[in-house]
């Protein structure tokens, strides 16, 4: 079994943070985008009015950060998509950005999947209204896909060199944060807590298990199937055992046809949910014991996952989109993500410079646990996305919605 580990993910930063070591940065071969995304930007603009921010690939090319801030403030709005307030502390991120720059943040469809984010760009190429996203936050299989279709534009933030992980060398997409997959268990409902994947097949969990997305379109759900494959004799190159596992869960009546969310977990409607650890930890904080949650790191497989940032090539607010990226990858933005239990892409740099408070470090899982994380590369993730999308209905036959 081929296992791609730390160089492809920010989780390796947690080992470096204990020893204050530096991690290598992985890169990806460039792919062609469309004319909108790849046309060379104007160089050395003489006035703010001369800058076409939809073509600008760095703040410097647009005249510097002051010019970017001024242009973004003039636009006055930013359209984001698929950002629930409790996902990686995005609620605080959006509020802080809005207050800092006086820019209104419009949140489109917070529960959207990665596939729906790309579709929102496709559907709004000519639309400059509130349904057209300026920026996206997608699973790693969807970044290269968006680039191939010409849906995203290249841009490198000022802190580009300190971003770790599998980033596009031209700046079309780049990692933002990472975590590991867990079982989130409402122990008001589930008294005998499952410890590993095979435990979930027990009849006592009938009608209790739910995915946190549609596996035909959601990155989190797709990667859950992928993790199940490795826990059931598969490999990074053999996803079929994951589909077979969910087929068996469905046949036994254990798998619910519902997409789990914070509300359904709290109400006990989806008492066992597959989640990224940062979402489960945030829920545990927010629930304050009502209901009580237990977060289980499965014994057989520690599965690591990350997400990517990108700017829409059709962004109605191109300067605000670029300023948003600058804010996310500033020390301030990275620490806001960290407060939401996410390991930000610049974590090693932050630790090396001593800007991470000890209480935020303590929120992370142990370096020993994260060292075991198995992380597929972008090609394997793209294959998994396509394979699960094509075969879920044929193999599992349960419509998750």
Q: What is the CATH number of the domain that holds 226?
A: 3.40.190.10
Does residue 287 fall inside a structural domain?
yes
246 and 338 fall within a common domain: no
Give the confidence band of 39 by pLDDT, cuts at 50, 70, 90.
Answer: very low
Say which DSSP state 360 is in.
H
How does residue 33 score in pLDDT terms, banded at 50, 70 and 90? very low
Residue 1 falls inside a structural domain: no
What domain range is 291 assigned to? Answer: 179-304+376-395
- Say whether both 227 and 270 belong to one domain: yes
Contacts of 252 (CB under 8 A, 6+ apart): 201, 203, 206
Q: What confidence score (pLDDT) does residue 12 get?
A: 52
The yes-or-no verdict on residue 32 having pLDDT over 50 is no
**Residue 173 phi/psi, 5° resolution?**
-150, 160
Q: Same structural domain for residues 117 and 140? A: yes
pLDDT tens digits for range 136-164: 999 999 999 999 999 999 999 999 999 99
Q: How confident is the model at residue 40 (pLDDT cuts 50, 70, 90)?
A: very low
Residues 377, 3: Cα–Cα separation, whole Å: 9
Whether 161 is in a domain gets the answer: yes
341 found inside a domain:
yes
- Show Cβ contacts of residue 284 under 8 Å, excluding neighbours closer than 6 positions: 293, 295
Question: pLDDT band for position 221 (50/70/90)?
Answer: very high
Q: Tens digit of pLDDT for each residue in 179-192?
A: 999 999 999 999 99
pLDDT at 26: 33
pLDDT at 363: 84
Domain assignment present for 168: yes
**Inter-residue long-range contacts of 109-112, CB under 8 Å, 24+ positions, other chains counted:** 109/81, 109/82, 110/82, 110/83, 110/84, 110/85, 111/82, 111/84, 111/261, 112/81, 112/82
* Within a domain: 265: yes
Whether pLDDT at 4 is above 90: no
pLDDT score at 13 = 52
Statement to judge: residues 187 and 256 lie in one domain? yes
For residues 166 and 296, state if they share a domain: no
> What does the pLDDT read at residue 10?
52
What integer is the mean pLDDT of 81-104?
A: 97
Q: Residue 362: what pLDDT?
A: 86
Residue 52 lies in a domain: no
Question: Do 15 and 150 fall within a single domain?
Answer: yes
pLDDT over 70 for what percent of the chain?
88
Same domain flag for 217 and 139 = no
Residues 205, 299 within the same domain = yes
What would the mean pLDDT of 283-294 be, rounded to a whole number?
96
Number of domains in the chain: 2
Answer whether residue 46 shows pLDDT above 60: no
User: Both 200 and 293 in a single domain?
Assistant: yes
* 15 in the same domain as 128: yes
Nearest to 255 by CA among 187, 197, 181, 182: 197
* DSSP assignment of 116-175: HHHHHHHHTTT--STTS-SEEEE-TTHHHHHHHTT-EE----TTGGG--SSB-TTSS-EE
Q: Of 263, 260, 273, which is closest to residue 209 (Cα–Cα)?
A: 273
Q: Which residue has the higher pLDDT, 261 or 49?
A: 261
Q: What stretch of H or E contains 386? A: helix 378-395
pLDDT cut 90: percent of the chain above it: 83
Whether this model's pTM surpasses 0.75: yes
Range in 180-184, 345-349, 352-356, 362-366 with the lowest mean pLDDT: 362-366
Phi, psi of 313 (to 5 degrees): -70, -15
Max Cα separation, the chain?
A: 70
Within-domain flag for 400:
no
**Is residue 136 located within the same domain as residue 168?**
yes
CB 169 within 8 A of CB 28: yes
Residue 318 confidence (pLDDT): 98
More confident residue, 173 or 24: 173
* The pLDDT of residue 27: 31
Q: Rounded distance, CA 247 to CA 227, Å? A: 15
pLDDT reading at 38 higher than 80: no
Q: Average per-residue pLDDT in the chain?
A: 89
111 and 216 share a domain?
Answer: no
Residue 389 and residue 118: Cα distance in Å, rounded?
Answer: 15
> What are the counts of helices (DSSP H) followed by strands (DSSP E) for the chain?
16, 11
Structure tokens at 380: 């394997």
């Amino acid at each position: 079994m081929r296992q791609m580990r730390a160089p492809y993910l920010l989780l390796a930063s947690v080992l470096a943070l204990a020893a204050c070591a530096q991690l290598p940065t992985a890169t990806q071969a460039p792919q062609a985008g469309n004319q909108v995304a790849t046309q060379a930007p104007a160089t050395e603009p003489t006035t703010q009015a001369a800058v076409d921010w939809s073509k600008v690939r760095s703040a410097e090319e647009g005249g510097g950060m002051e010019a970017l801030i001024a242009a973004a403030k003039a636009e006055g709005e930013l359209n984001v998509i698929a950002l629930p307030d409790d996902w990686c502390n995005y609620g605080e991120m959006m509020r802080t950005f809005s207050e800092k720059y006086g820019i209104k943040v419009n949140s489109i469809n917070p529960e959207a999947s990665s596939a729906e984010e790309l579709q929102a760009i496709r559907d709004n190429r000519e639309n400059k209204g509130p349904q057209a996203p300026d920026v996206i936050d997608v699973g790693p299989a969807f970044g290269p896909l968006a680039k191939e279709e010409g849906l995203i534009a290249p841009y490198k933030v000022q802190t580009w060199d300190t971003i770790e992980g599998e980033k596009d060398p031209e700046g079309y997409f780049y990692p933002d944060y990472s975590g590991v997959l867990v079982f989130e268990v409402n122990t008001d409902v589930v008294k005998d807590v499952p410890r590993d994947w095979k435990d979930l097949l027990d009849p006592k969990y009938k009608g209790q298990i739910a995915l946190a997305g549609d596996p035909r379109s959601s990155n989190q759900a797709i990667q859950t199937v992928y993790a199940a494959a490795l826990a059931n004799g598969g490999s990074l190159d053999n996803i079929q055992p994951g589909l077979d596992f969910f087929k068996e869960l469905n046949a036994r009546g254990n798998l619910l046809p519902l997409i789990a969310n914070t509300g359904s977990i709290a109400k006990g409607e989806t008492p066992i949910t597959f989640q990224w650890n940062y979402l489960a930890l945030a829920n545990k904080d927010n629930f304050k014991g009502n209901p009580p949650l237990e977060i289980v790191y499965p014994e057989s497989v520690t599965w690591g996952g990350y997400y990517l940032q990108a700017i829409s090539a059709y962004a109605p607010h191109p300067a605000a989109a670029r300023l948003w990226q600058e804010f996310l990858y500033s020390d301030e933005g990275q620490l806001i993500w960290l407060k939401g239990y996410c390991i930000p892409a610049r974590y090693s740099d932050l630790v090396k410079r001593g800007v991470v408070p000890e209480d935020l470090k303590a929120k992370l899982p142990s370096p020993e646990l994260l060292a075991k994380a198995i992380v597929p590369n972008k090609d394997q993730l793209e294959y998994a996305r396509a394979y699960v999308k094509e075969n879920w209905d044929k193999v599992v036959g349960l419509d998750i919605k």
